[in-house]
A and B are shown apart, each in its own frame.
Chain A
Amino acid sequence: MATCPGCALLCDDIEVIVENNRIKETKNACRRGAARIKGCINRLEPKIAQKPSDIESAVRKAAEILGNAKSPMLFGWSNSTCEAQVKGIQLAKKLGAIIDDTSSFCQGLLIEKLLQKKFRTCTLEEVRNKADVLVYWGSDAQDSEPRHLSRFSYFPRGESRQRGYEEDRIAIAIDVRESNTAKICKGHFYRIQPKGDREFILALIDALSGKVPAYEPKKILELASILKKAEYGVIFAGIGLTYSIKDDFDILVALADKIPNFHIMPMVGHYNMRGFNENLFKETGFVNRVKFDGKVVHDNRYSIVEALREKSIDALLVAGSDPLSSLPRSLVRHLASIRVICIDPCVTMTSKIATVTIPCAVSGVESGGTAVRMDGKIIELSKIIESDYPTDEELLSRLMGAL
């Protein structure tokens, strides 16, 4: 059995048939996972200034760039093992650098509140065994964490949910779009307007407090009564919800407080984003956006987005991420004028403009380690095939040695 590093569900029931150190077939992994395990067709090559080089020289050049930078930043991390993340944090400390990860423009806010124990949460096993009301809010699990409904939440029979989804569970979707998840929640799909989450939450709070909600009263009252009757409810909070109420998280917590049997679980895409948040939290008390400046400083200015907007960094190490592809173009323009170092198994848009590129093994396929599942459980990754590429953890160690 192998673990799939395709998303933060880290499914550990995958069978892989390997022939001549090549992956021939996967069983049980979804389409997303199968693609991750099979790997990309364009592996990264070591380069300096876009000219072929070797790993050793590339690492040395990277150390030189980071060592000489006035304001270096280390970014990425959601596709790295916990071991590599810890190394990355040490490197940031040693350099007095800024460190941030993709959660900074994703689920970081929510995970920070979770680690500060601002709301009740639960594990996916508890969901499987106990949950009867599942609310997918701004989250299309079917496309992002494809086995979420089949492995844990809706379809499986659990200890106190023996009759399965037909009779024992209700799945609800609240979204702007009738997603694939919403399709499965047939009859319990609540469409909202973009940025309409706040209004929807306030209406639900009203309904739960016995008031007539100002907005779509009939539907909201019906939903409130389902939520109230839940024996064990879970709100799976997706980025749709996080983006929409980012300024005002407390209303979500206030909502959960109105329904005592409810839990909130942030939906995480990248396989070890939560791992980075937990590792940095352990070290600094913050989940992202930190600068090691003799002491630990946490500030929005140290988010990748603000750092690029204010052009406040002069060197960027990117580990396992592709900001050129995943951030607004108007923002990543700045990357073209600073020195960028890419550590990645595959060629990315960012690597094509990077000053230094260093290839690494695909973590969870060509190297093992540990990662944190979206509910906080630590999962062992598998080394499925051998590879000559060094792991990102090893590269970070070498980089630190070369400083």
Chain B
Amino acid sequence: MEIYQLLPKTNCKICGESTCMAFAVALLGRKKNISECTPILEGDFKKQKEKLEALLLPSAGAEETGMIVHPEICTGCGNCVVACPVDVANDPKGAAIGCAPTNDKVIFRVVDGKVVASNIKECRRFGKNRVLCYACIDPCPTGAIEFV
């Protein structure tokens, strides 16, 4: 819904979907790319496009794990960085002891004061030995990380 609100809402069909709503659903399901909506790349919609990207980018990979990150409410506290068991295992001398991550194998990083997730396939909620891990959700003060 939040995604739909940010689209041009003209139902012009350039993106190949019949309505903006359908495009929003396709975006959420990663079946479409923002740039396929050419009207939003132009002029007045620039701000909205940035917001859309913020909404969508961090959760690239969400189709497998269902992770959604909301950078706009993240405080950049780093609790998730240090609490995630994958980060602890992959960076014992950095993230695990509260310091800045020392390698690229961690899932969470804080960039410009907001969280960015990568390596999401490493998440324990994914793969064949998956477990229902809450180690990044419970320590978050603002609910900036969700799984859908």
Contact = CB atoms under 8 A, between A and B. Distances in A.
A28 B77 contact: no
Contacts of B79: 149-150, 155, 184
A113 interface: no
B111 A150 contact: no
A34 B112 contact: yes
B113 A30 contact: yes
Contacts of A180: 75, 141-142
Nearest to A142: B141
A170 B112 CA distance: 30
B112 A184 contact: no
A149 B82 CA distance: 10
Contact of B141 (A32, A35, A128, A183): A183
Contacts of A35: 113
B98 A151 contact: yes
Contacts of A67: none
A26 interface: yes
B28 interface: no
B94 to A, nearest CB: 9
A165 interface: yes
A151 B78 CA distance: 8
Contacts of B113: 26, 29-35
Given A31-B114, A152-B98, A184 B74 contact: no
Contacts of A291: none
B96 interface: yes
For B82, B101, B114, the residue with the greatest tally of chain A CB atoms inside 10 Å of its CB is B82
A15 interface: yes
Contact of B98 (A30, A128, A146): A128
Interface stretch (A156-164, A308-316, A351-359, A380-388): A156-164
Contacts of B49: none
A149 B98 CA distance: 9
Interface string B130-148: 0000010011011000000
* In the A-B complex, the 10 residue pairs with the closest CB atoms: A156-B98, A34-B113, A180-B141, A31-B113, A30-B76, A13-B100, A150-B78, A155-B82, A28-B100, A31-B76
A147 interface: yes
A143 interface: yes
B52 interface: no
Contacts of A14: 100
A129 B114 CA distance: 27
Contacts of A246: none
A43 interface: no
B101 to A, nearest CB: 8
B110 interface: yes
B88 interface: yes
A158 B100 CA distance: 15
Size bracket, chain A contacts: 35 or more
B86 interface: no
A150 B100 contact: no
For B75, B78, B83, the residue with the greatest tally of chain A CB atoms inside 10 Å of its CB is B78
B112 A150 contact: no
B6 to A, nearest CB: 22
Nearest to A24: B112
A152 B79 CA distance: 11
B70 interface: no
Interface in A42-99: none
A186 interface: yes
A143 B88 contact: no
Contact of A146 (B76, B99, B101): B76
Given A30-B77, A150-B83, A184-B138, 12 more contacts: A13-B100, A25-B112, A26-B112, A27-B109, A29-B76, A30-B78, A31-B74, A31-B76, A31-B113, A143-B75, A149-B79, A183-B141
A3 interface: no
B97 interface: yes
Nearest to A181: B141
A150 B98 contact: yes
A28 B99 CA distance: 9
A180 B77 CA distance: 11
Given A30-B110, A32-B113, A128-B98, A142 B82 contact: no
Nearest to A145: B77
A147 B112 contact: no
B106 to A, nearest CB: 11
A61 to B, nearest CB: 38
Contacts of B101: 28
Contacts of B139: 149, 155, 165, 184
Interface string B65-90: 00000000011111101110000100
Contact of B75 (A146, A158, A186): A146
Given A142-B141, A180-B142, A156 B82 contact: yes
